[in-house]
Structure formats: C-alpha cells, structure tokens
C-alpha cells in the first residue's frame, strides 16, 4: 500500500509541475507577443502501439510481474496540437489495452489465479518539450518531451479458472474508473509530414478491479506501464495562408 501511495503521489506531483511549467511558458509567450495569425501552431494525428503490463492483484510482486508472460499489447490513436513555444496538447483514445496475469511461478503459486482483461477509454494530456522540437527559428528534428494527463477508462475482465475464486474475495467483470498518468517521449521528424517516436507511460487507476479481482486484504488500486512506438502525420490549419514553421526542413 505504501508503495502504491508513493507512486500516486509522484504522478500527482508530475502533473502539478506540468501546470506550473505551462503557466510560465504561457506568460512568457504572451509577453513577447508570440500569438499571431502566422504562428497558430502545428497539428497532427498519430497512432501508437506497443507493449503494456498491469500491476494488479494477480501475478505476484512487482519484481515477479516482469516475467514476459505478463506482457501484452496496446493500441491508441490521437490528435495533437503543438504551439510554437514548446507546449502541446494531445487527446487520445485507448482502443485496446490487453492485460493478463498468472500466479504460477510466483509466491502466490498456491492460489493459481489467472486473468485476462481488455481496457479502453479516453484521455487528454499536456506536453512540454525539453529538448529540440519544430520551433520557429531553431528547428531540430529530434524532440524529447514529458507529458502528463488524465482520463476515463473502461475495463472488462475474465478469469481463466473462475472456480478458484475464494468467497472472501470480490469480483467485478466490468469496471469504469478515472485515471491519471505521466511519462516521457522521443520523436524524430522525418520530414514536414511525418515523424516516428516512442513513449513510456505509467498510469494509476482509481480502482482495484481493472483485473476484475479484489482480494480481501488488498488496499491498493491497479496500475499499468506502457512502452509504445508512435507514428504521426502533420497537417496545416493556417488561416493566414502563410508558412507557420520557418524551419527550412530540407534534410
């Protein structure tokens, strides 16, 4: 329980820092008159896929959950708006996050519980560029950024051996839960239209039923970690019909 409270505390602080950074950047940009019809920013749509792991009540301790058998796949699509001063916003739909876990081979081997679940939902995030980026006078194809946000998740779980569920434990096959998350990402701009990158994300759910299972003495909510590869397509929304990025992208 202490470990999970620390993780949640870190995520909350992470999001709070984003708000502070955003306020500073916004004030600086406004003071310099950064907003103009020719500097509306940049928009893109993207798809992300990779591997995900759920840290719930089935499958042993955190160290034991690193077993390859607990890794499964994830898929998401999103829309991103990036301003000329290192701040971005992204809205994404989690299409499919497949989770699984098994007590076999862990200190819970005596229990023999195993599950699979599917999670999907919607979320929004704030992004801050730490290094590089497609900005007006100092274009750099490399972009390292951090992000944080929150959303709402839906989950549907099933047990591979439901006969082993103990009467003292609680089961919930369908669940809805808010969540918060934070992480870091990298992207490389291939040209004006496309980029490739990767993201690492940690998500804290406010429910212990993402895996469908709540043991009698459990006092922590579920958490997941994701590593994804991201492909993005950039397009212009330019009301002034003038070039937004003075980047000379001939590379």
**CATH value at residue 194:** 2.40.160.20
Stretch (H or E) spanning 190: none
- Is residue 250, in this structure, part of any structural domain at all? no
Instruction: Judge whether 213 and 103 are in contact, CB under 8 Å.
Output: no
- Is residue 240, in this structure, part of any structural domain at all? no
At 163, list the tokens.
Answer: 């006969």
- Is residue 35, in this structure, part of any structural domain at all? no
Whether 166 has a pLDDT exceeding 80, the answer reads yes
- Is residue 247, in this structure, part of any structural domain at all? no
Of the given ranges (68-82, 128-142, 165-179), which has the lowest mean pLDDT?
Answer: 128-142
Q: Classify residue 165 by its DSSP letter.
A: -
Q: What is the pLDDT of residue 13?
A: 56
Residue closest to 170 by CA, chosen among 160, 178, 181, 159 = 159
pLDDT per residue over 224-241, tens digit each? Answer: 999 999 999 998 765 544
Mean pLDDT, the chain, whole residue set: 80
Instruction: Judge whether 213 and 175 are in contact, CB under 8 Å.
Output: no
Q: Classify residue 244 by its DSSP letter.
A: S
Q: Between residues 63 and 80, which one has the greater pLDDT?
A: 80
- Is residue 248, in this structure, part of any structural domain at all? no
Residues 71, 74, 80, CA angle at the centre, nearest 5°?
Answer: 140
Question: d(Cα 34, Cα 49) in Å, to the nearest integer?
Answer: 35
Question: d(Cα 239, Cα 38) in Å, to the nearest integer?
Answer: 8
Question: d(Cα 199, Cα 61) in Å, to the nearest integer?
Answer: 25
pLDDT per residue over 5-56, tens digit each? Answer: 444 555 555 555 555 554 444 444 444 443 333 356 789 999 999 999 998 8
- Is residue 242, in this structure, part of any structural domain at all? no
Q: Classify residue 140 by its DSSP letter.
A: E
Residues 223, 228, 232, CA angle at the centre, nearest 5°?
Answer: 130
- Is residue 38, in this structure, part of any structural domain at all? no
Question: d(Cα 75, Cα 93) in Å, to the nearest integer?
Answer: 9
Q: Which residues pair with 127 in a beta bridge?
A: 88, 147
Say how many domains are in the chain: 1
Q: Between residues 220 and 6, which one has the greater pLDDT?
A: 220
pLDDT per residue over 137-165, tens digit each? Answer: 456 789 999 999 999 999 999 998 888 88
Q: What is the pLDDT of residue 29?
A: 45
Residue closest to 91 by CA, chosen among 101, 82, 100 = 82
Question: d(Cα 217, Cα 239) in Å, to the nearest integer?
Answer: 58
Q: What is the pLDDT of residue 101?
A: 85
Residues ≥6 apart with Cβ < 8 Å to 159: 113, 114, 115, 165, 171, 212, 213
- Is residue 246, in this structure, part of any structural domain at all? no
Q: How far is CA 72 from CA 8, 51, 55, 91, 215, in A?
A: 23, 5, 12, 23, 23
Q: Which domain holds residue 62?
A: 2-25+43-235
Q: What is the pLDDT of residue 251?
A: 42
Instruction: Judge whether 213 and 61 are in contact, CB under 8 Å.
Output: no
Q: How buried is 156 (Cβ within 10 angstroms: 0-12 exposed, 13-18 middle, 19+ buried)?
A: middle
Region 161-176: what's the mean pLDDT? 90
């Amino acid at each position: 329980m202490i470990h999970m409270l620390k993780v949640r505390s870190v995520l909350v602080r992470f999001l709070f820092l984003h708000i502070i950074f955003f306020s500073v950047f916004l004030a600086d940009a406004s003071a310099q008159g950064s907003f103009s019809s020719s500097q509306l920013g940049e928009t893109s749509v993207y798809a992300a896929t990779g591997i995900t792991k759920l840290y719930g009540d089935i499958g042993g301790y955190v160290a034991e959950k690193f077993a390859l058998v607990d890794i499964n796949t994830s898929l998401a699509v999103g829309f991103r708006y990036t301003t000329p001063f290192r701040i971005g916003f992204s809205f994404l739909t989690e299409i499919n996050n497949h989770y699984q876990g098994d007590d076999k081979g862990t200190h819970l081997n005596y229990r023999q519980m195993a599950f699979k679940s599917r999670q999907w939902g919607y979320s929004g995030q704030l992004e801050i560029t730490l290094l590089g980026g497609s900005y007006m006078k100092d274009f750099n194809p490399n972009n390292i950024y951090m992000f944080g946000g929150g959303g709402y998740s839906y989950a549907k779980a099933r047990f591979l051996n439901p006969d082993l569920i103990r009467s003292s434990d609680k089961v919930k096959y369908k669940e809805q839960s808010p969540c918060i998350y934070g992480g870091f990402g990298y992207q490389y701009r291939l040209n004006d239209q496309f980029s490739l990158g990767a993201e690492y994300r940690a998500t804290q759910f406010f429910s212990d039923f993402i895996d469908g299972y709540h043991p009698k003495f459990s006092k922590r909510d579920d958490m997941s970690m994701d590593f994804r590869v991201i492909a993005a397509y950039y397009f212009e929304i330019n009301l002034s019909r003038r070039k937004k990025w003075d980047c000379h992208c001939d590379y």
